[in-house]
Structure 1
Amino acid sequence: MSVANSLAAEAVVTSTSTYKTSTYMYQPEIETLPRDQLAALQLDRLKDTLRRAYEKVPHFRRRFDEAGVSPEDLKSLEDIARFPFTVKTDLRDNYPFGMFAVPRKQVARVHASSGTTGKPTVVGYTQGDLDRWGELMARSIACAGGTPDDALHNAYGYGLFTGGLGAHYGAEKLGCMVTPMSGGNTEKQNIVLRDFGANVLCATPSFALNLADHAERQGIDLRNSELRIGIFGAEPWTEAMRAELEQRLNIKAVDIYGLSEIMGPGVAVECCEAQAGLHGWEDHFLFEVIDPDTGIPLPMGETGELVITTLTKEALPMIRYRTRDITRLSAEPCSCGRTHVRIMRVTGRNDDMMIIRGVNVYPSQIEAVLVGFPNIAPHYQLVIRREGVMDTLDAEVEAAPELNADQYPAVAEKVQRHIKSIVGISCKVIIKAPGEVPRSEGKAVRVVDKRG
């Protein structure tokens, strides 16, 4: 069966909906498909994707030939391990449109990264890609607990970043009333959240925390507003941050995952029932976890680097894309009944890992210690400096409003001891006054590298 035919078959499958009276959930039958049927669908789509990538994209043809493999060598899903990886530099080396598998006249939209460290990575979508992206985001919002009756406040950035438009069109497809606020303008955001009666907030977790801080200063009680769900993504965040957001906003905080090179938001999402790992939409993506050093695939449940292959992308197929995200996969049954594997919470990125005096540490490990610690607010930045031949780490942490300045040194010492005890590294903790740690208007800048 070709991808076109399998997509048509899925349209028939997903025309049947399941409605749950507790939260109202649109649940296509594809989400509960038996594993053997799901694997068969994946294999059919994977064969077609490899064939189109080889025939239409010179980069993939060259890489496959160098590795001594061809699309015909794929007989099972496990055979994907024989094919070469794709990395971010491949997109930059083929800037802007060299990785596209369709002529430009068939490209309906492009998005791109910021390109602050070089050429941006450019991604393209056919109209079919955009339709499927909208469907997957609608599915994701519903999985998180959203309904067609909801008002959705979208504080993800619009423009070349995929977050804003991805969430926007998915919410509209689900039937929500969408407020396209984008990022920034924090005080106005809170007024609109309250006055428009938003039920669902889409934002980065750091910006949502910023909104909560400003709401308290504005005298806006978001805890008793119509908000009940926060769909947060675009940056790693911890269970401690989830607890903080749920307490501060009186919501259920749900994790969503995606990246521009693969599609954008909506690759995977937590369900509102369990909030225990993100359901990866396996009818559109093939997930692997590899040893980040050797590239060898790891068994289900082991922690490593997430690798994703697209199964239905037309304009920009991605073969074994190395995300650099550190996680593990779980095939354990979920209480919600979905059969798709779960991507457990991303703990960090390969390229975010810091080596401080010989100890490997991720920013999320520090965050897990800081968020919820007595007398400090959940706002921080980590500053790396070079002293001689060794790297040092300063944790700049904001004091809680009720903490007196003369108490800062004692609290800093307690935080330092706790970080040493839990994470195993020595760092200098600097307590700053409320409002002194830079706030996020989008993705948070957690690490500042001053090594020069």
Structure 2
Amino acid sequence: MRAFRHRHPPASRGTGGRPSSVFAQALARTVYRTQERAVRRPTFDYLADLERSQWLDRAGIEALQLAKLRELLGVAWLHSPWHRRRLEAAGLSPGALTHLHDLRPLPCMTKQDAAAHHEEMVWRGVPGGAFKYNTGGSSGMPLIFHFGRRRQASDAAGRMRARRWWGVEPGDPEAYLWGAPVELSKTDWVKTVRDRLINQLVLNAFAMSPARMDDYLDALERFSPSCLYGYASSVALLAAHAKERGRRPRLPRLKVVCTTGEPLYPHQRTLIGEVFGASVANEFGSRDIGFTAHESPDNPAGAMLLMSESIILEVLDAQGQPVAPGELGEAVMTGLCSDAQPFIRYRTGDMVRLSPEPDRAGRGLHVIAEVVGRRTDFLVRPDGTIMHALAGIYVLRATEGVGEFKLVQHAVRDLEVLVVPGPGWAAERVPAIEAGLRQRLGDDVRVTVRVVDAIAPEASGKHRYVVSHVPLQGELAQAAAID
């Protein structure tokens, strides 16, 4: 199986080669614009809006948020019966809001709410269509939800703007260290042609054996990207492998390494920057809310600029009250582009601190001082291949009737799966889960599925959906460590 290609990185897919010419970059931009217009996704229009709006002062940004909030509440009032009942019970109507604080009487919604009232939230007639998606969440509780073209455009345009902060333009060559729940060897000539046109390379984060990581480093040198993007732990793992090999990839055009999916710890940032010879910037987001925040070169490492034009962020304490800037609290978000299925005052479970300081470059965007985030572990195959946790999570996400789950790798050939049944669960799901995980990890791995009533959090109070007790060695252990 080739490890260089698969479907669905965040915006597009990739290919090998070295598209270094100005022509290739211009062609990639043209192809991408044409694709977005063809599917009625206003990505580049929204990017133009974002380039202007980021320079509004804070009052201007919040006035824009208020206007978009009223619009979102109007959509929810007309097309989401569950949200309308909530608004009426809180004494709120879309046109009556005069300040962002006016939304506070509305109780926060949870992932359980989104799951239980899904059909009463979705606006299937949203312009451009409503598209089904799912997420595992930090507790391993799958959530099926819908999003539309506006949310898709917000995610793509937000990332492009963030790349521009680091000098990377749309169409510049980008490499992805990514993963997806489809068979990686299944391609066709249409996708291959499109991949070449889009000017991107994709490396499989779900199968990082030493031999393949050597190949990845070779492929990166041939491709010579301007940006490398991937899971924080997986990029750190590749950097650790290169360091163990005594190798520093020759990447003269690389301007930034963008990491995502989990916290980026200081030792990982140092390792990645040292090996790849470029700045390192972390991204914050989730499937249900979307692209949320990104580091910029103007602010301290770890601080992120919020996608304020698309998201209202509240940071609340355990009693649901706002905390002061600089204090830790739960991120509660309203997705201003979530018209297909509104997420309004949504409890994400992520722990963050808002900065009391403005953006040093003068943008009015809100500044997140720190994302504490959640924890992810690797899964290790008997042959030594290291797999991102999502490789196992996707198996559970795709299984009907799984309410919550947790994977515990006790040893390299011993995997325990805890499952809390949800609607649609049946005993015959167990063999399917076992088979799916053995397909990922190896036929000789013992997979034990235990059906339980509840899954307790860790001693820290956090939920972890994958826990591996299989030790890594040397620099690889340092790359994966988070404590």
The TM-score range, normalised by the shorter chain, is 0.5 to 0.7
| Residues 209-232 of structure 1: per-residue CA shift (max 9 Å, x gap) | 111133345564226654331111
TM-score by length of 2: 0.60
Give 1:314 shift: 2.1
- Name the amino acid aligned to 1:203: G
Matched, 1:53 2:92: no
* Partner residue of 1:322 out of 344, 347, 367: 347
What are the equivalent positions in structure 2 for 1:49-448 lying under 5 Å apart? Answer: 49-95=72-118, 97-103=119-125, 106-107=128-129, 109-114=131-136, 120-148=142-170, 150-158=172-180, 177-186=199-208, 187=213, 188-216=215-243, 220-222=247-249, 226-263=253-290, 266-276=291-301, 277-291=303-317, 293-349=318-374, 434=473
DSSP 3-state at the match of 2:169: coil
CA distance in 1, matches of 2:376, 2:244: 36
- Name the amino acid aligned to 1:46: L
CA distance in 2, matches of 1:438, 1:336: 37
Give 1:98 shift: 4.3
TM-score by length of 1: 0.64
Return closer, same or farther for 1:47/1:120 CA change in 2, 3 Å cut-off: same
CA distance in 2, matches of 1:66, 1:199: 51
- Name the amino acid aligned to 1:316: Q
- Name the amino acid aligned to 1:212: A
CA distance in 2, matches of 1:282, 1:238: 25
Matched, 1:34 2:73: no
Return closer, same or farther for 1:70/1:324 CA change in 2, 3 Å cut-off: same
CA distance in 1, matches of 2:277, 2:45: 38
DSSP 3-state at the match of 1:345: strand
> Once structures 1 and 2 are overlaid, which stretch shifts more, 132-141 or 39-48?
132-141
Give 1:237 shift: 2.5
- Name the amino acid aligned to 2:105: R
Return closer, same or farther for 1:438/1:331 CA change in 2, 3 Å cut-off: closer
Q: Does the Cα contact within 8 Å between 1:326 and 1:348 map onto a contact in 2?
A: yes
Identity value in percent: 26
- Name the amino acid aligned to 1:204: Y
CA distance in 1, matches of 2:478, 2:59: 47
Paired residues, number: 335
Ranges in structure 1 where 5+ consecutive residues have no aligned partner = 1-9, 17-26, 161-171, 353-380, 384-429, 448-452
Ranges in structure 2 where 5+ consecutive residues have no aligned partner = 1-42, 183-193, 378-407, 411-468
Q: Does the Cα contact within 8 Å between 2:240 and 2:475 map onto a contact in 1?
A: no
CA distance in 2, matches of 1:220, 1:436: 13
Give 1:303 shift: 2.1
2:399 aligned residue: none
CA distance in 1, matches of 2:349, 2:89: 23
Return closer, same or farther for 1:270/1:62 CA change in 2, 3 Å cut-off: same
DSSP 3-state at the match of 1:274: coil
CA distance in 1, matches of 2:140, 2:206: 25
Give 1:116 shift: 9.9
Give 1:111 shift: 2.2
Give 1:72 shift: 4.5
Give 1:299 shift: 3.0
